Amino acid sequence: MDNWDEIKTAYQVARMGTVSGAAEVLGVHHATVIRHIDALEGRLGVKLFQRHARGYTATEAGEDLLRVAQATDDQFSQLVGRIKGHGTDVSGDLVVTSLVSLAPRLAPLLAEFQHDHPGLIVRYLTGERLFRLEYGEAHVAIRAGAAPEQPDNVVQPFFHERMGLYATKDYIKTHGALDDISEASGHRFVGHDSDSSRAPFERWLRANVPLTSLTFRSTDVRALTAAILAGAGIGFLPVMEAQTNPDLVEMYERQKDWSAPLWLVTHVDLHRTTKVQTFLAFLKSHAKDWDA
């Protein structure tokens, strides 16, 4: 395509739905937007938009073109982020991603690191989606399970997340202790709502506890934690957090296969940058006791 400006204009028209909205985003006159759309449609020989009283709606051909335009725009933005990461100082964006269960430990550390480097803008992204480091979606990813195998990533062992099976003292007063897993049918359990959860302790729970005893379920680890603390049932918690709560009692002998290894993952293009290396050193030094 000879003119990327025309494609960018079409992309913004589709995104905003109006010529005036696209003109405002692009910082050009609305006549320029119309001229770009007309020129692009003339060059391609197809209509990219249906014009109507409320604005512009992309046609099927327009949707095809704009999907490519959006992907290209996203990749360029991510490339800019990666290029900025090559600076020699610790400033700008620092994007870290992990499972939300690590937030109670990571958020304070990120705040402390930012305090040491006030030029940083911290973006802490949590969730189960794997952010694509090759597109610059994150500087550092903390991932659980088998060692990541994506090409061009630098993978380092971080620590093992030890998990235990806990309930509150009030729960035990009402329902008694869990002396053996064969007694599971007489208890109430808290667990993930999906039977396809990759967490090893959740797989153990599904294999050893009748589904009818899994009486509180959620897809959000924060909701599961809150339910356990509220006495809804017996459930898994990180040992490190549970041991700080005097109201929690470990209900069953800890199993080795409940714990999962966690990995520090960075992209090879950013791994040696000052910002990433400084943060990795800081994180490792503060997390050295997490595996104890």
How far, CA to CA in Å, does 104 sit from each of 101, 113, 124, 208, 222? 7, 15, 12, 29, 10
51 domain residue, yes or no: yes
Q: Are residues 96 and 206 in the same domain?
A: no
Spatial separation of the C-alpha atoms in residues 227 and 223, rounded to whole Å: 6
Q: How would you classify the pairing of strands 140-144 and 92-98?
A: parallel
pLDDT above 70: residue 1: no
- Please report, as a single letter, which amino acid is at residue 160: H
Distance CA 3, CA 8 (A): 9
DSSP string, 106-117: HHHHHHHHHHHS
pLDDT recorded at residue 79? 58
Q: Looking at the domain assignment, is residue 77 inside a domain?
A: no
- Answer whether residue 205 shows pLDDT above 80: yes
- Name the residue with tokens 């509220």: 230
CATH, residue 126: 3.40.190.10
Residue 80 belongs to a domain: no
What are the residue ranges of helices labelled H in the chain?
Answer: 4-16, 19-26, 30-44, 60-84, 103-116, 169-175, 200-208, 221-229, 239-242, 268-271, 274-286
Write the CATH number for 50: 1.10.10.10
131 and 274: one domain? yes
Beta bridge partners of 263: 143, 157
Same structural domain for residues 61 and 49?
yes
Do 246 and 170 share a structural domain? yes
Which tens digits make up the pLDDT trace of 41-57?
888 888 888 888 778 88
Structural domain that includes position 253: 163-257
Residue 168 in domain = yes
Residue % of the chain over a pLDDT of 90: 46
Domain match, 54 and 97 both: no
Indicate whether 85 pLDDT > 70: no
- Spatial distance between the Cα atoms of 181 and 190, rounded to a whole number of angstroms: 15
In the numeric block, which tokens belong to residue 60?
A: 């099927």
Query: Are 22 and 66 part of one and the same domain?
Result: yes
Same domain, 236 and 270: no
Give the span between the Cα atoms of 30 and 189, in whole angstroms. Answer: 60
Sequence-distant (6+) residues with CB within 8 A of 278 are 90, 117
Exposure class string for 252-269: b at 16+ Cβ within 10 A, else e: beeeeebbbebbbbbbeb
pLDDT at 124: 94
- Whether residue 130 lies inside any domain: the answer is yes
Res. 156 pLDDT band, cuts 50 70 90 = very high
Same structural domain, 252 and 191: yes
How much is the pTM? 0.64
Q: Is residue 32 part of a domain?
A: yes
Question: Mean pLDDT, the chain, as a whole number?
Answer: 87
Task: Tell whether 144 is covered by a domain.
Answer: yes
Question: For residue 20, is it within any domain?
Answer: yes
Q: Is the pLDDT of residue 127 over 80?
A: no
Confidence tier at 278 by pLDDT (50, 70, 90): very high
Q: Which of 166, 150, 155, 185 is nearest to 258 (CA)?
A: 166
CA distance 283 to 262: 13
pLDDT tens digits along 7-30: 888 888 888 888 888 888 888 888
Whether residues 186 and 236 share a domain: the answer is yes
Verify that 53 and 172 share a domain, yes or no: no
Tokens encoding 142: 């903390």
What's the domain count of the chain? 3
Q: Is the pLDDT of residue 4 over 90?
A: no
What is the mean predicted confidence (pLDDT) over 248-264? 91
Q: Tokens for 6, please give them.
A: 């025309």
Q: How many CA atoms does the CB half-sphere of 209 hold within 13 Å?
A: 28
